[in-house]
Amino acid sequence: MEKMSIYLVTSSFGTLAIAALLYLLHISSKNEDIGKSATIIAWIGGVFLTLALVLRTIVSGRGPFANMYEYTVSFSWGIMLSYLFFERQIKSRSLGLLVVPIAAVLLLYAVSLPGEVEPLVPALQNNLLLTVHVSVAIFAYGMFAVAFGSSLMYLFQKDGNKVSWLPSADVLDDVSYKSVIIGVPLFALVIILGAVWGNVAWGRYWGWDPKETASLVTWLIYLGYLHARSVSGWKGTPAAVLIVIGFVATLFTFFGVNLFLSGLHSYAGL
């Protein structure tokens, strides 16, 4: 079953890569049929990923959240879930051009990592908190990835709707906002659940550990975006730039801290 799960991850990478290509073809040709098949294949990729994670959960008897391989696959799953949700919401497939490749690249990276099921070190031996803390994080990261995709497109589109095949600037701005307002409370929950766990395992709810700090900074960036938008009426380019910066911080929180810095979260490395 462990092998099966790894094969499924590899095939979902292939599937999503094809889906990304189809999104590109659909957008450049405006062919509705190609678009539909892109969506179907993206869904198939999503189902493969879901199966891979379910199998892994069964094999290991815990959530698939114990090392970089599992985090990355889960991250990719969260992105696909958020993306497919928004594709239905805005009835436009153009976001797929940017967001689906992000999920595919993450899977490619995961495939390059050692994928064996590893036993848990003592600090992680808290099934409830491990599952809730990390799975909420996956949803939040997924939302931030969608916001990044739509904001990046916004920056090409600008206020004049220059690019005819992209959704209008208003729609993109709206998608960014909607995904951020889902992501921000979720990420607040991630940080708080982390604090609850830190308090149980390490005896303190906050210790400026690199992962804690990076998460806080990431969250503050998105919070800055929300304030700028509601209080100062920021819309458009500056807001989109802030979201792009926010996603860079998200990636740093996700990868950078585990790979380049040592801290209490470094068991989550390779």
Considering only 11-19, 133-141, 157-165, 191-199, which stretch makes contact with another protein by CB under 8 A?
Answer: 191-199
- Residue 251 sits at φ, ψ, to 5 deg, of -65, -40
**Cβ-based nearer residue to another protein, 40 or 192:** 192
Contact 257, 265 (CB under 8 A): yes
Query: Does 228 engage in binding with another protein (CB under 8 A)?
Result: yes
Q: Which of 36, 121, 158, 165 binds another protein (CB under 8 A)?
A: 121
Q: Which of 1, 4, 40, 123 binds another protein (CB under 8 A)?
A: 123
Number of residues that bind another protein (CB under 8 A): 45
CB of 29 to another protein, least distance (A): 31
Query: Does 244 engage in binding with another protein (CB under 8 A)?
Result: no
Query: Does 131 engage in binding with another protein (CB under 8 A)?
Result: no
Q: Which of 24, 223, 248, 251 binds another protein (CB under 8 A)?
A: 223
Distance from C-alpha of 171 to C-alpha of 228, rounded to nearest angstrom:
19
Q: How many other CB atoms are there within 10 angstroms of residue 263's CB atom?
A: 17
**Cβ-based nearer residue to another protein, 38 or 257:** 257
- Name the residue among 6, 5, 73, 15 with its Cα closest to residue 45: 15
For another protein, the binding residues in 61-120 under the rule CB under 8 A are 119
Contact 190, 137 (CB under 8 A): yes
Report the interface residues with another protein, using CB under 8 A: 119, 121-123, 125-126, 174, 177, 181, 184-185, 188-189, 192, 195-196, 199-206, 208, 210, 213-214, 216-217, 220-221, 223-224, 226-233, 235, 257, 261
